Chains A and B, each alone.
Chain A
Amino acid sequence: MSEAPPGYAQAELLDPFEVHIGPVFERCDDGGRRFLLIADERHVNMRGVVHGGLLMTLADLAIGQAVWDATGHATVVTVGMQSQFLKPAHVGDRIEVTPQIVRRTKSLVFARGDFMVEGEVIYTATSLWKVLANR
């Protein structure tokens, strides 16, 4: 389960809640870092469908990493996040995303991500981040 698939490395997760839901894998993509989570039994509800809470946590994690990259590793916090759930995902699905930075100002970052399973978008998230301080 924690073995990285070919071409991917295990992403370094600092937040205990992210470690709890992980592992998450990453690789370099044309558009930035690409993140991958392989859904397992821990991530689904009683009907065997990947929980919305897991997808939103993955979004906060992946988009947060992209924002962190874009700000030169500033301390950032989520101010708002909008989620749309397009299609259910199941155990064994490879959920992938390459988050995009839409706009960056001195104190705010606008970002988004389309989460794909086998080439289809299953979930989209748009989030707004506040830059607290540069390290």
Chain B
Amino acid sequence: MDQAGGILDGAEGISVGGFNRFIGPLYRLPDEPDGRTHFAFKVLDKHMNFLGTVHGGMLMAFLDISMSRTSRLASGAKSCSTISLDCEFLAAARLGDVVESRIRVARKTKTMAFMTGEISVGADLLVTAQGIWRLVF
């Protein structure tokens, strides 16, 4: 099995096509014991900005993909679309870092999922986020 460039055991590639593949590879890891979903990617040259840190757009795209997938996993929806996503950037990631996201579903209705998420590298919290997704069955 592809070990995601040494990301972690049990990593499952999720970058099968489209924009996800274009910016990937991204991976899903086993859920956290508290129920949060867990995703990761390893920082490559293409993810960077000229300041030598990971581009904010890449981090937001990673959250968008992590949260979209979580909304579908939690609801069984066939597809979903992002309605809103708010992000706060606390710290930066660097080349070679393994960047992880953890997503919690705060509330789920028939047509919407409300989620919170965070991005971290090791013990350092980099991004906190809240978002709303529309679910299509």
Contacts and interface: CB of A to CB of B under 8 A. Distances in A.
Interface stretch (A16-24, A25-33, A101-109, A110-118): A16-24
A52 B82 contact: yes
Nearest to B23: A53
A75 B23 contact: no
Interface residues on A, range: 35 or more
Contacts of A51: 18-20, 61, 64
Nearest to A76: B51
Interface residues on B, range: 35 or more
User: Which of B47, B48, B56, B57 has the most chain A CB atoms closer than 10 A to its own CB?
Assistant: B57
B60 A49 contact: no
A81 interface: yes
Majority SS at the chain A contact face: mixed
Interface in A1-56: 14-18, 20-21, 42-47, 49, 51-54, 56
A21 B57 contact: yes
Contacts of A85: 81-85
B46 A17 contact: yes
B60 A77 contact: no
A80 B68 CA distance: 20
Contact of B22 (A42, A61, A82, A88): A42
Given A44-B18, A52-B82, A53-B64, A61 B57 contact: yes
Nearest to A51: B19
B61 A57 contact: yes
A80 B126 CA distance: 12
A65 interface: no
Interface stretch (B32-40, B86-94, B106-114, B117-125): B86-94
Interface of B: 16-20, 22-23, 45-51, 54-58, 60-62, 64-65, 68, 79, 81-89, 92
